[in-house]
C-alpha cells in the first residue's frame, strides 16, 4: 500500500511515520513543513510550506492508494495571537478539500481525516456523553473549520466514490507532549500548591499510541469506509485524579486545596484565563462503543501506563 501522510513533523505525525515504517507492506511518502532529514531515506519526502487551496500535491499523490491527513492549523490558546475563522479555513477547509480533490483525481481509494472532538462540542453536561453520530455543535473557530472540512469531504466522497474516514480525538497525550499538559506536569514536579481540590469533573483523553493504533486500522478496515469515529482510552478521569496520578508517577507529594469553582471562574476572567479554567473544571465524556463494535478495536494502553512514560521526558 502506498500511503501519503501529511503533518509528518508534528507530535502525532512523527510517531505515526515510525509506526507505519514497521510494516513492510507500506510504502510511505510524507509532507513536512520544515526539516527534510528527520526520516529514513526510503521515505519519499516533500516540503510543504503552506497548505491551502493552491497547494500542489501531485508528486506525493502519484501512485498513492491512501491519504492520512493529519496536518492542520491547530487550536492554540494564546490571547496574544489572533486566530480568525478565515485563517483556520485557509488550511483546515480549503487546504483539506484541495488535497482531497487531487487525491480523488489521482485514484486514491481512501482518505482518512484527523478532525477533533470539538466538532461535537466543547464540553458535556453531567448526564451527557458525546457519540459519533451526535448532531455537531462546534463552538470556536477551530472546531467550525474542522466541521466544515468534514462536510466538504463527505460531498467529495459522494461525487467521486473515494472513501472518507473521519476520526475525532480529544486531547492527545504521551511522551513529547507540549502545551497545557506539559505545563501541568511541570506544576506538579515543582510542588506548586494547586487550588483544584474541589474539581470532580470527568474527561476523556487518548494516549498517542492508542490513537495511532486506531489510525492503522482505519487505513484498511472495510467497515470504516464512510464512517466517523470517536476515540479515547476508554477511561474518564477528573482533573483532581489526573494531578494525583501525575504526582504518583513522579513519586512526588501534591498539595491540592479546594476552591469553589465559581471563584476559579472569576479568577479566569480576571487574569484572562477563562478558556484554561473551563477545561480544568468542565467535563468532556466520549462514547467509543461504535469504534469498538464496528472495528473490533480496543485501547491497548491504560492512562497510567502512558502517563508514567510521559512525565519522564518533561523537566
Active site residues: 142
| Nearest to 182, CA basis, from 297, 71, 314, 18 | 314
Half-sphere exposure of 13 (CA within 13 A, CB side): 24
Cα–Cα distance, 102 to 115 (Å, whole number): 19
CA–CA distances in Å: residue 160 to residues 52, 67, 111, 163, 286: 21, 15, 12, 9, 32
What does the radius of gyration of the chain's CA atoms come to, in whole angstroms? 20
CA–CA distances in Å: residue 10 to residues 69, 176, 306: 12, 10, 19
User: Are the C-beta atoms of 248 and 240 separated by less than 8 Å?
Assistant: no
**End-to-end alpha carbon distance in the chain:** 40
Greatest C-alpha distance within the chain: 59
User: Are the C-beta atoms of 265 and 274 separated by less than 8 Å?
Assistant: yes
Cα–Cα distance, 145 to 151 (Å, whole number): 10
The grid coordinates of residue 76 equal 492554540
Amino acid at each position: 500500500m502506498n500511503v501519503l501522510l501529511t503533518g509528518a513533523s508534528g507530535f502525532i505525525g512523527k510517531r505515526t511515520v515510525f509506526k507505519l515504517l514497521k510494516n513492510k507492506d507500506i510504502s510511505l511518502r510524507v509532507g513536512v513543513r520544515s526539516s527534510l532529514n528527520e526520516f529514513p531515506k526510503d521515505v519519499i519526502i516533500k516540503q510543504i510550506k503552506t497548505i491551502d487551496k493552491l497547494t500542489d500535491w501531485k508528486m506525493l499523490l502519484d501512485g498513492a492508494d491512501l491519504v492520512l491527513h493529519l496536518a492542520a492549523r491547530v487550536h492554540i490558546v494564546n490571547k496574544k495571537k489572533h486566530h480568525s475563522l478565515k485563517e483556520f479555513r485557509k488550511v483546515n477547509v480549503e487546504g483539506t478539500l484541495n488535497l482531497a480533490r487531487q487525491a480523488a483525481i489521482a485514484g486514491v481509494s481512501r482518505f482518512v481525516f484527523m478532525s477533533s472532538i470539538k466538532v461535537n462540542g466543547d464540553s458535556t453536561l453531567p448526564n451527557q456523553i458525546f457519540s459519533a453520530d451526535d448532531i455537531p455543535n462546534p463552538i470556536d473557530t477551530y472546531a467550525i473549520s474542522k466541521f466544515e472540512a468534514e462536510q466538504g469531504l463527505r460531498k467529495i466522497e459522494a461525487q467521486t466514490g473515494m472513501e472518507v474516514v473521519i476520526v475525532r480525538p480529544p486531547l492527545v497525550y504521551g511522551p513529547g507532549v507540549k502545551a497545557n499538559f506539559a505545563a501541568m506536569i511541570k506544576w506538579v514536579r515543582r510542588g506548586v500548591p494547586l487550588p483544584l481540590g474541589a474539581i470532580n469533573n470527568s474527561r476523556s483523553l487518548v494516549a498517542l499510541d492508542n490513537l495511532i493504533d486506531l489510525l492503522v486500522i482505519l487505513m484498511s478496515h472495510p467497515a470504516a469506509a464512510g464512517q466517523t469515529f470517536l476515540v479515547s482510552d476508554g477511561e474518564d478521569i477528573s482533573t483532581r485524579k489526573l494531578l494525583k496520578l501525575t504526582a504518583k508517577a513522579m513519586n512526588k507529594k501534591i498539595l491540592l486545596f479546594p476552591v469553589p469553582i465559581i471563584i476559579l471562574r472569576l479568577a479566569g476572567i480576571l487574569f484572562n484565563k477563562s478558556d484554561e479554567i473551563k477545561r480544568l473544571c468542565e467535563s468532556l465524556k466520549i462514547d467509543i462503543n461504535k469504534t469498538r463494535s464496528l472495528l473490533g478495536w480496543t485501547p491497548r494502553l491504560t492512562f497510567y501506563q502512558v502517563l508514567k512514560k510521559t512525565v519522564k521526558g518533561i523537566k
